[in-house]
A and B are shown apart, each in its own frame.
Chain A
Amino acid sequence: MNNNELFHIADSWFKNQAWKPFPFQKQVWRAYLQGKNGLLNAPTGSGKTYALWVPIVLDYIKNNPDYKCKPHKGVLAIWVTPLRALSVEIKNSTERFVDEIGVPLTVGIRTGDTSQKERAAQNRSLPNLLITTPESLQLLLASKGYDKKFRSLTSVVTDEWHELLGSKRGIQMELALSRIKSIAPNLRIWGISATIGNLDQAREVLLGTGSKAYENSVLIKAKIKKKITVKSIIPKKMEIFPWRGHLGLHLLEEVIPIINKSKTTLLFTNTRSQCEIWYQKILEKHPELAGEMAMHHGSINKKTRVWVENAIRDATLKAVVCTSSLDLGVDFAPVETIIQIGGPKGVARFIQRAGRSGHQPGKESVIYFLPTHAMELIEASALQQAVKAQKVEDRIPYLNSYDVLVQYLTTLAVSDGFYPEEIYQELITTFCYQSLTHDQFGWILNFITLGSQSLQAYDEFQKVEIEEDGRFKVNNRGVAMRHRLQIGTIVSDAVLTVKFLKGGYLGSIEEWFISKLKPGDVFTFAGRNLELFRIKNMQVLVKKSKQRASVVPSWMGGRMSLSSEMSQLLREELYAVAELLNDREEYALDKPDVLEKINAKPLSRELKSLMPIFKRQVKESIVPAQSQLLIETFKTREGYHNVFYPFEGRFVHEAMGSLLAYRISLLTPITFSIAFNDYGFELLSDQKLDMQQVLDNDLFSPQFLKSDLEKSLNATEMARRKFRDIAVIAGLVFTGYPNKLIKSKHLQSSSQLLFSVFKDYEPGNLLLQQAYTETFEHQLEEGRLQIALDRISSQDIIWKACTKPTPFSFPIITDRLREKLSSEKLADRIKRMLISLEKL
């Protein structure tokens, strides 16, 4: 059959569905049949599944003329999705196509949810199309004879590649593909990604830097543009002091008419605790919504989540309060309206969420923005601009993640074993390990075989063995089993399952939260008030409680930073305001006609509504203009506050704060605690800081950036936290058998402890160094910091000594999560803490 005849099969099937193929779908079909690899840039709900599944099947027909009568044996294509929840949807779509055109291909799913029985059946013979996750794919690489199973593969499709790209799950895909490329001679590799800033790089990472696959590849863009309308909910009364963490509940009543007006509304919150609270409060104030409202977040038990998802699809719910858990995934046609509670921090996330509504072609997406504190209205104003300009963030891929490599090599050693030179050649064609040297690779090999870099007497280290022919292999069954249980790169806190005393599973909760509660305490979880009965065998047993006041668990990891795109847009908004305010003659805020004048300016509604706050801000300070960096100092009962406003997002501020604190501490022995948010950072001390001295010494200099950052205590603390994940991924910490009270208690240890031991005894350890690299590149965003410092060096520094906290400073100084930095001797610090204690 030639290509035209093949296309005819697809076209007539589309016609039968009363559909017309999009141009991008046809483009992909053509490219695929020409034997190309590629990346398809298309949003969810645009028919991207058929863009790739159709040509995979057509190609099969082409190569198997007797396809109708002879069922195909073995796996033909693997479809990788980051979200298990998506797999059923994909299975239905793909089955529908092959069933209706009469091609007897089988479709199967293999994820963490797949039953043991089904797995066993799959192990005997894989389905023709296997839908799976990056983790399950790694597990297949850990099974014996995987190379024979994969030899027949014609394609691997990685769906939602943008979600994987900036994460270690993305590296798992790079590694799996590098292996499969060598095994399957007729392989085509495709990815599907939503719009991100670095699509070209996304293609390179997927296909492998400098690889043949990359050379023979295309980037196809769907070019479907959606109309998005952003509406801010502006409080009628503006608070002058915008506290952090108000959760936005004071605007709750504004949400109700919006919910009532549309078929289904999704309310996105940024954290799970915020989600719980909003759900509770809406029901409390509007009991009539009971039964029509639900909640969805990652800690709620899966059954409930699936139920909620189905209910959305069936249009039986008016409103769902949710977190990023509903960012991705299945299309929910009945969703008409989105409400974003609190700043979404990134353009891509905001557009993605907006896109959850108005899914039918031609319909516009409507998203309401509900600010949790007044300053977020500036963000809203910036978002309007961002949506217009489609300014979407990059997803930065990882480089040289030794932890994932350690895990991967052990995986290969667990299945059939590997020969290092062969694998090394594959590794250096991946993006992540393109610069991996022989020395580093040798270090990793020593690490997994010797547990150190040299053989020592009386050592009982046991993991990977080197067999006589040079094959690296795991022969110990215990090692293999523990490794299989630990495959994966998503590390979560120790979680306990929450259950009713009488039975009934509610979800899971982080150990550190529950450990703060005593039996009898009441907390809110999964939308209910629960009384803690007791904790036993990794289970939290609870009873229903009628008590109303309760604690809401907060989940770690809920803190996001403004992206550099958002920060830039945010600053531009402020500059516009500053320009206005600095013209004091004409816009003196106490003049009666000034509001009219301001209204005539091309400022957004949001900014106009913030005028009372700006007015209070300029009373003692300023709104910084483009050429200015603002510093405010004032004293409260808590000590001396020094607040800086670079408006660069919290991660950059975290870094800049510790950098400055370190540099100041070189001038004089002093201890700071550092707080930061998306707008600025604060150095709080019990001693008065000589700000003039800071300015005179040019402490914002971008010179010696890295070495200064490294020396700040802060980097170590951050690296310590990064190391936690690295230690688990590299298999240094065993997280236990699932649902079993840990029998291996002697093997449990906190990664904190491990970090200290490595730091003291093996500072050259690559995994330890990786913790620092990740801290600098991913957490501190060193690159962004450099750019920010360059910008600051061209600005005038405006130092305002204020008598009281200003509106801008309020959200920062009330932040309770802090870093610290000290140049004083430990003993001195303690002694001084004691003196001040006595004074109280």
Chain B
Amino acid sequence: MEITIGDTLFTLHPSGAIFWPDQKMVMIADVHLGKISHFRKFGSAIPQKAIETNFNRLSVVVSYFNPDKICFLGDLFHSTLNSEWGMFEAWVKNQSSTIILIKGNHDIISPSLFSKLGIQIERELLINQFLLTHHPEKRDGLFNFSGHIHPGIKIRGTGRQSLSLPCFYRQPNQLTLPAFGAFTGKFLVTPKNGDAIYAITEDEVIEI
């Protein structure tokens, strides 16, 4: 699904990624790599197959958009170093795009390890009038892309039906991305007037 912000065009992908055609850049928030291995290390037997899913999903998005740049909006790696780092290294080596990480609260792994892989680490990124951060921020005159809150939306209909889905959450000067990772929860948001919600279903993004 395509949206415009100002007069800039963006594509919202059902995986939760955003593509920015002018910059040839993909933005992805909250992958939380390493979370499953971290749980396993502490005796909680989460299925290992879910680990592969994260990497498969990343590869699907990258091959679909074929971007020059991939920008992770924080919480790329959930925990301290563990075996998933090795898989991540392998994945990075296969990429031709430039990879940028905007540091999130979960990213506690030493920046030097990221640098070694050629990943650029930033506190935030300003491109034209667009500000890319991990935590949502409001700054005058800028439009902010962020992650961190894992937005989800609950929809109600007649017959007292309800559904909850991950979503892109757009406020007047802000757009928060859904969490990309396979083993992440969501936080239900309550949209105000003037907000927009783009919910994710299996193969479609639907504006609500």
Contacts and interface: CB of A to CB of B under 8 A. Distances in A.
Interface of A: 447, 451-452, 456, 458-463, 478-479, 482-483, 638-639, 671-673, 684-686, 731-734, 744, 746-747, 749-750, 752-754, 757-758, 760-762, 765, 818, 820, 822, 826-827, 829-834, 836-837
Contact of A747 (B38, B53, B182, B184): B38
A836 B40 contact: no
A360 to B, nearest CB: 52
B78 interface: yes
A733 B157 CA distance: 34
A460 B78 contact: no
B41 interface: yes
B117 interface: no
B184 A830 contact: no
B208 A686 contact: no
Interface string B149-185: 0000001111111110000000000000000001111
Nearest to B82: A460
Contacts of A671: 157, 159, 161
Given A451-B43, A461-B45, A482-B43, 4 more contacts: A684-B160, A686-B158, A757-B50, A757-B182
Contacts of A831: 206
Top 4 A-B pairs ranked by shortest CB distance?
Answer: A833-B157, A451-B45, A761-B47, A458-B83
Interface stretch (B60-68, B140-148, B197-205): B197-205
B93 interface: no
A837 B79 CA distance: 43
Nearest to B42: A747
B48 interface: yes
Contact of B155 (A673, A733, A761, A830): A830
A827 B158 contact: no
A479 B39 CA distance: 12
B40 A833 contact: no
Contacts of B163: 826, 829-830
B45 A822 contact: no
A672 B83 contact: no
Nearest to A758: B47
A820 B44 contact: no
B86 interface: yes
B45 A760 contact: no
A758 B42 CA distance: 18
B46 interface: yes
B185 A638 contact: no
B158 A749 contact: no
B37 interface: yes
Which of A671, A673, A818, A830 lies at the interface centre, i.e. has the most chain B CB atoms within 10 A of its CB?
A830
24 contacts: A447-B45, A451-B44, A458-B86, A460-B82, A462-B40, A462-B42, A638-B159, A638-B160, A671-B159, A686-B159, A731-B43, A744-B42, A746-B35, A752-B185, A757-B46, A757-B183, A760-B53, A762-B49, A820-B161, A820-B162, A830-B155, A830-B163, A830-B201, A837-B157
Contacts of A733: 44
A463 B39 CA distance: 11
A455 to B, nearest CB: 11
A830 B206 contact: yes
Contacts of B39: 747, 749
Contacts of A762: 47, 49
Given A460-B40, A462-B43, A826-B201, A685 B208 contact: no
A834 B157 CA distance: 8
Contact of B44 (A456, A731, A765, A832): A731
Given A458-B83, A820-B162, A830 B208 contact: yes
Given A461-B45, A482-B42, A747-B44, A673 B160 contact: yes
A402 B46 CA distance: 16
Given A747-B42, A749-B185, A827-B204, A673 B47 contact: no
Interface string B6-43: 00000000000000000000000000000101111111
Nearest to B41: A460
A757 B47 contact: yes
A459 B83 contact: yes
A790 to B, nearest CB: 30
A638 B158 contact: yes
A452 B45 contact: yes
B83 A834 contact: no
A672 B162 CA distance: 10
B52 to A, nearest CB: 9
B109 to A, nearest CB: 13
A639 B12 CA distance: 35
Nearest to B160: A673
Nearest to A675: B160
A684 B163 CA distance: 16
A757 B48 CA distance: 10
Contacts of B204: 827
A734 B208 CA distance: 37
A754 B36 CA distance: 10
A731 B46 CA distance: 11
Contacts of A826: 163, 201-202
Given A747-B38, A827-B201, A834 B159 contact: no
B66 to A, nearest CB: 27
Contact of B208 (A752, A834, A836): A834
Contact of A830 (B46, B183, B185, B199): B199
Contacts of A684: 159-160
A671 B208 CA distance: 19
Nearest to B84: A458
Contact of A746 (B38, B45, B160): B38
Nearest to B49: A761
Contacts of B49: 761-762
A232 B44 CA distance: 52
A461 B161 CA distance: 41
B204 to A, nearest CB: 6
Contacts of B48: 452, 456, 459
B208 A451 contact: no
Contacts of B161: 671, 673, 820, 822, 829, 833
Contact of B157 (A458, A686, A734): A686
B18 to A, nearest CB: 20
Nearest to A767: B45
Nearest to B106: A746
A478 B157 contact: no
Nearest to A478: B42
A744 B78 CA distance: 13
B92 to A, nearest CB: 16
Contacts of B83: 458-460
Nearest to A672: B159
Nearest to B182: A757
Contacts of A673: 159-161
Contacts of A833: 155-158, 161
B122 to A, nearest CB: 24
Given A638-B159, A686-B158, A820-B161, A452 B199 contact: no
Given A671-B159, A826-B202, A834-B208, A753 B43 contact: no
